[in-house]
A = this chain, B = another copy of it.
């Protein structure tokens, strides 16, 4: 084939090149500044695409931050799975990274799921006969859920990704639609950074319909974003390891409307995200994939 060969997992040797995929400018710029990256005036992408590359070397590690850019007509950031898949594809071909990091903001779940609420209501209704058993069970589950529940500005290192808005109710196609994948396993990085670990569910809507909610619960996700599972799909095509850092801007199952809470918290939460990405970048130089 005439086209580039993409990277695949290297057996050994320290990481050389990292690609950090970031959908929104607000999320990307503090990192660009912190790592003193330069904007590439002539990035190795085809003419016409809006993606922006910032690059530099940090302790021997080649860093490429690819921001998805702005829609040429509407002027908003190119969020969502279509842009995410295209940017991942083009970045793998252009930079042959040893590791992809998808960093971004996300909705989080506290998680007080409907199941818990129903159990509580049942317990309330059935008093006094069965309340004690149900309460114990209910509180037990709640405790578990709250223990891994998300709060504003939490940053998650993602263990697994899946889609929640690709329902194809035909055998096997249904699994294809969900597209569940594991993130690259990084036990040492996880221990070192002391980040929360949880599952991510991806969809192209900022809000959450009842169908989405059911699928997110089935995916057992603690965070919800608009890019992760698409990045994972493309990275998987080329067997490039990918990890995901997601900072919680809004509590989906909380009281405030998502869009409002998202905009309110975006800048502040981005600081937490950038701190986490910085810590990861601080950990990587000199490390092999198997050290992560």
Q: Which residues of B contact A204 (CB under 8 A)?
A: 163, 165-167, 177, 204
Residue A168 is within 8 A (CB to CB) of chain B in the complex: yes
Per-residue CB contact flags for chain A residues 252-284 toward chain B (1 = under 8 Å, else 0) read: 000000110011000000000000000000000
When distances are taken between beta carbons in the complex, the residues of chain B under 8 Å from A258 are 169
Q: Taking the complex as formed, is A137 at the interface, i.e. its CB lies under 8 A from any CB of chain B?
A: no
Copies in the complex: 2
Give chain B residues whose Cβ lies under 8 Å from the Cβ of A175. Answer: 74
Flag whether A35 is at the interface (Cβ < 8 A): no
Partner of A47, one of B6, B79, B80, B166: B6
**A264 → chain B, closest Cβ, in Å?**
12
Chain B residues positioned under 8 Å from A85 (CB to CB): 82, 85-86
Is A169 touching B259 in the complex (CB atoms < 8 A)?
A: yes
The 0/1 profile, CB within 8 Å of B marked 1, for residues 198-217 of chain A is 00000111110111000000
**A60 contacts chain B at the CB level, 8 A cutoff:** no
Tell me which residues across on chain B come within 8 A of A79, comparing CB atoms.
168, 173, 176
Within the complex, what minimum Cβ distance (angstroms) separates A17 from chain B?
16
What bracket does the count of chain A residues touching chain B fall in?
Answer: 35 or more
With a cutoff of 8 Å between Cβ atoms, the chain B residues found around residue A166 in the complex are 80, 204-205
Which single residue of chain B is at the shortest CB-CB distance from A257? B169
Q: Using a CB–CB distance below 8 Å, which chain A residues touch chain B?
A: 1-6, 42-50, 71, 74-76, 78-82, 85-86, 89-90, 93-94, 163, 165-170, 172-173, 175-177, 203-207, 209-211, 230, 233-234, 237-239, 258-259, 262-263
Instruction: Known A-B contacts: A1-B43, A163-B204, A167-B205. Give 4 more (CB < 8 A).
Output: A3-B90, A79-B168, A170-B263, A209-B209
The 6 A-B residue pairs with the shortest CB-CB distance in the complex, in nearest-first order: A167-B205, A166-B204, A209-B211, A168-B206, A82-B85, A2-B44
